[in-house]
Each structure stands twice: as structure tokens, then as C-alpha cells.
Amino acid sequence: INAPEFADVVSTEDRLKAPAEATGGSVRRLAPSSMLGDLAGGVALPSIVPVRSSGAASGNDWIGLRTTDDSTLKAVSRVPLFGGFLGLGLLLLAIGSMWYREGR
């Protein structure tokens, strides 16, 4: 078990800071919002917003994801979530009815 990911398991920003700054990005740590002065509690997350490829990719309270034309969305399909449950209910009703009829 000499995997490189187990050799140095200390959480640090140092390794990602140079490549992130070279590409115009930033490295952020998630911090409890109580450390940031927020009274609501929980974890303070930066907003994630789409930005153009030439714009800045980070700010004080936001992280930008650069939009490119590397991939194209062709279609979106939706599958109803409860349609399967309705079919399952009807199937169980049919099996229960047959079981009841068989027992009589």
C-alpha cells in the first residue's frame, strides 16, 4: 500500500495555488460560517457562476466556471419519477388480487 495519495495526507492549498493562479482561478477552503461572522451557522459556500473564457474566474465571494464550446448539448430527456411507483403499485395490486382469489 504505497499509493502516492496515502504518502502525504495533509490538507493544504499549496499544491493547487500555483496552477490555479496561472489559469486565473483561485483555491478556496470551506469554512464554518461562524468563523466568517455569519450568525446562521452551517458552512459558507462561495457562489458558482458561469463566466466567459476571457473574464476573471474568481472573486471575493464567488467562483467562476468558464464556458466553452468544447461540448454541445444535443437533447434533454425527462423521465417521470412517480410513473414507476404507480406501475409498481398496480402490479402489487394485481398480484395481491390474484393471491386473494387463489386463497378462496
pLDDT per residue as tens digits for the range 18-65: 988 888 788 887 766 555 555 555 667 788 888 887 777 778 888 888
Strands (E), the chain: 31-32, 43-44, 47-51, 62-66
Binning the chain into helix, strand and coil, the percentages to the nearest 5 are 35, 15, 50
Q: How far is Cα of residue 101 from the mean position of the Cα atoms in its chain? A: 49
- Judge whether residue 4 has pLDDT over 60: yes
Q: Scanning the structure block, which residue is given the C-alpha cell 423521465?
A: 79
Return the CA Rg of the chain: 26
User: Confidence class of residue 89 from pLDDT cuts 50, 70 and 90?
Assistant: very high
- Residues 6-27 have pLDDT tens digits of 887 777 888 888 988 888 788 8
Domain boundaries, the chain: 4-103
